[in-house]
Amino acid sequence: CITICIAKDRRRSIEFINRFAPEHLQIMTASYKRDCKEIRNAGAVFLGPFTPVALGDYYIGTNHVLPTGSSARFASPLGVLDFCKRMSLAEVTAAGLRRCGRAVGVFARAERLIYHALSVEKRMGL
């Protein structure tokens, strides 16, 4: 399915694109390089009259596994990092816990996660 949208001006077209978050986006304006800088939500963007989507599918190496259904607003094309295992690490000092602990306890209790609150409060001597 191909959708062609016509907007009253450049600003409105870019706003629409960023809301719609297309899987594939072909920009064929006189200022396509400048226009591309304002696109935040698209799976794959093909610039100018000599870069058809088919080149991305078969030849130039852009990924073909793209976010669909407007999910480009929060997701990216499949990439190498999707196959890498990552881990978060955190270390807070005693002074850091004193600065944030009470607020964390309030949030945890508001969510009724009592043991989360207690895990902070007991370390603070509360």
Tell me which residues are annotated as active site: 23-24
| CA 81 – CA 28 distance, rounded (Å) | 31
Q: What tokens were used for 108?
A: 């945890």
Contacts of 79 (CB under 8 A, 6+ apart): 63
**Positive/negative CA dihedral, 62, 63, 69, 75:** negative
- Amino acid type, 116: H
- CA dist., res. 26 & res. 110, Å (int): 47
